[in-house]
Amino acid sequence: MSKPALGRGLGALMAGNAASTPSAASPVPNPGEPAAPPIAPHDRVQRVPLSKVRPSALQPRKEFSAEALQELADSIREQGIVQPLIVRENGGFYELIAGERRWRAAQLLNLTEVPVITREADDRAVLELALIENLQRENLNALEEALGYAQLAEQFQLTQEQIAIKVGKSRAAVANATRLLKLPAAVQSYLRDGRISVGHAKVILGLDLEKDQILAAERVIKEGLNVRQTEGLIAKLQARATKPAGEHSQPTATPADANIIRLEDKLRERLGTKIHLKYAQGKGAVEISFFSDAELQRVLEILGINVD
């Protein structure tokens, strides 16, 4: 069964429950905004006070570029808001479902009113649709994306497979994204600031101890290591951690060590869990970690093993 296309849920919510045909007169969106979905015949666009619109606490995106917001504000100054904000009524206010960038730009312009379309949506739908809207435009950083997936899993008890279907990603992509939340806060900060990449972070996760992960990240930054060089560093740190007590010679990373790290990373991406590969002279073992019965079942399904 094929997975739904990314954003199908968002389109359904924004265009209403009834099917609608795109109009040739559909407005051209402001720069940086996705194409405006068609407005269903029963939709009613209303103008409400900007002061009555509130951002959603479920919005996964936390960082907004000041420069991009100013560009959007300049466009709105010239054209107005051509795409209504999507909101739900909540506690006497209008809570945003989609359109926070337009809302922020409207604040920069000190607008008194904004156009909105009101929808009925529960918390889970709001979070799902906020994730989809941002993923469509690749506006989320890696940690914001991971936190959104984690919230769907923890707050609404969705499996990684269910999340993947809803947001149009592969299950492995969702699993690998959420693994980033296992990094220490300091390393997450480096990732959020762009001082290390997601590729660096995945390799650093091969270390078991937080102090080693932090040490590795700091060396990556200080020495300007690329991902391949980081693999060699991680192999060296792993060798040092497993060296028997009393041996003081400095371990050196070999091409084989780097290849093992690379293979571990590929296995992690495929299975979406922690992997440890032991290898020496053509012999070794693959250790696959799982942290719940559900995760074990998921790994077995990926491997094509039916336990029934």
Looking at residue 243, its pLDDT comes to 56
In a shared domain, residues 102 and 200: no
Report yes or no: 275 and 217 within 8 Å, Cβ to Cβ.
no
In the numeric block, which tokens belong to residue 173?
Answer: 């992509």
123 and 214 housed in the same domain: no
Residues shown for the chain: 308
Model confidence over 92-110: pLDDT tens digits? Answer: 899 888 888 889 999 999 9
SS3 93: strand
Q: Is the dihedral of CA 261, 262, 266, 272 positive or negative?
A: positive
Q: Which of 100, 128, 144, 145 is catalytic?
A: 100
pLDDT digits (tens, 9 = 90+) for 248-291: 444 444 455 667 777 877 787 788 777 777 777 777 888 888 77
d(C-alpha 19, C-alpha 225), whole Å: 52
Residue 13 in any domain: the answer is yes
Are 32 and 133 contacting, i.e. CB atoms less than 8 angstroms apart?
no
Q: What is the pLDDT, as a whole number, of residue 214?
A: 93
Q: How many domains does the chain have?
A: 2
The residue among 86, 112, 142 that closes a domain is 142
213 within domain boundaries: yes
**Is residue 33 annotated as a catalytic residue, yes or no?**
no
Looking at the structure, tell me whether residues 123 and 187 fall in a common domain: no
Which has the closest alpha carbon to 121: 150, 96, 84, 158?
A: 96
The reported pTM is 0.52
What's the chain's average pLDDT? 77
Q: What is the pLDDT of residues 34-91, one digit of tens each?
A: 444 445 556 688 899 999 999 887 777 777 778 888 888 889 888 888 888 888 888 8
**Cα 218 from chain centroid (whole Å):** 24
Is the residue at 113 inside a domain? yes
Last residue of a domain, one of 124, 142, 160: 142
Q: Decide if 156 is inside a domain.
A: no
In a domain, residue 167? The reply is no
CA 124 to mean position of chain CA atoms: 16
Domain co-membership, 124 together with 199: no
Answer yes or no: is pLDDT of 138 > 90: no
Asked whether 121 and 13 are in contact (CB, 8 A), the reply is: yes
Q: Which of the two residues, 107 and 237, has the higher pLDDT score?
A: 107
Per the model's pLDDT, the better-predicted residue between 302 and 26 turns out to be 302
Task: Tell me the pLDDT band of 221, cut-offs 50, 70 and 90.
Answer: very high
Same domain, 85 and 205: no
Asked whether residue 41 is domain-assigned, the answer is yes
Residues 129 and 239 placed together within one structural domain of the fold: no
Residues 288 and 232 reside in one and the same domain? yes
Mean pLDDT within 215-225: 91
**Rounded mean pLDDT of 171-175?**
87
Does residue 193 share a domain with residue 129? no
Q: Tell me which residue range forms the domain holding 210.
A: 183-302
108 sits in which H/E element: helix 100-108
Cβ proximity of 253 and 233 under 8 Å = yes
Q: What is the pLDDT of residues 118-133, one digit of tens each?
A: 888 788 877 777 777 6
SS3 state at 56: coil
